[in-house]
Structure 1
Amino acid sequence: MSRSQATILTNMCLIEDGRGNIVMQIRNPKRYSWSGAALPGGHIEVHEGLVESVIREVKEETGLTIKNPSLVGMKHWYTKEDERYLVFLYRTNEFTGEIHSTEEGEIKWVARKDFAQMDLAYDMLNLLRVFEEEELSELFYRERLEDDFVREFW
């Protein structure tokens, strides 16, 4: 039995300013198949390290240069093509620079308390639990049922 499988590697980063605000990207619906406010991140390139990739993606998407991102967990599922889709979740409060928007979407600081009133990307509130609850390190979508996934936290 082969132990290899097709895999897509990505990352996402929660960037905090120490005053209750988080950097959010309001995705451009013309560019993405899913929209809403999400954390910055993207694909890991061939021969690129995991930390290196999240630093690069955050810089490209927000203008911020982050330092010392901590791996806090992961989110993963299987695509319709049976590829495992992995999202490495990072968190940091160390950064330099000023935020700016790109063609990928509007970048802004958002108060954590305002998330419930925002148009968030699918399942963002569940994903934030992995960042905020120390006992959680994984969000796995086991299977899809109609328009929703069966979620499991570990």
Structure 2
Amino acid sequence: MTSPSGRVLSAVAGELAVRARGFGALAGREMGEHVGAILRTVLRETTATGPAGGLLERILAHIDDRLAGDLSPGALAAAHHISVRHLHALFQKTGRTVGDHVRRRRLERIRRDLVDPALAHLPVYALAARWGLGDASHFGKVFRAEFGLPPRAVRDRSADR
């Protein structure tokens, strides 16, 4: 890989391949999230080579900037003056749907808030609502499906460190 972020990804992946067995379950999952973030950066660089790639990059940035707001496909398409069909076609190239991407980014943000000691006084459901996942039972199910642990367990484990 010749891009700077590609070289970083390559170095991190190589080091993880050597040291992965030494990580506990939570540390391994967190490392995976970091590698995923680096990979997203590499993908954004490689898809930003043409007009459509630049559009996708702007849409992804828009999503990250407005995670608490209305990020339905219709709202995203309207914000970028494209059709919903074109939006779905852009995301199809990434291997994820629009909804999957939005949900994953929201869950990552909530997980980050759960382990933040400055936010320990806020209930889990308030952190979920803060990022656009207001239905507590649905949030608990999708969080557990994504991270393998309920939100409370993630918070408790971070407090034990």
Q: Please report the TM-score for the alignment, with normalisation by the length of structure 2.
A: 0.20
Larger radius of gyration: 2
Higher relative helix content: 2
- TM-score where L is the length of structure 1: 0.21
Please identify which structure carries the higher strand content: 1
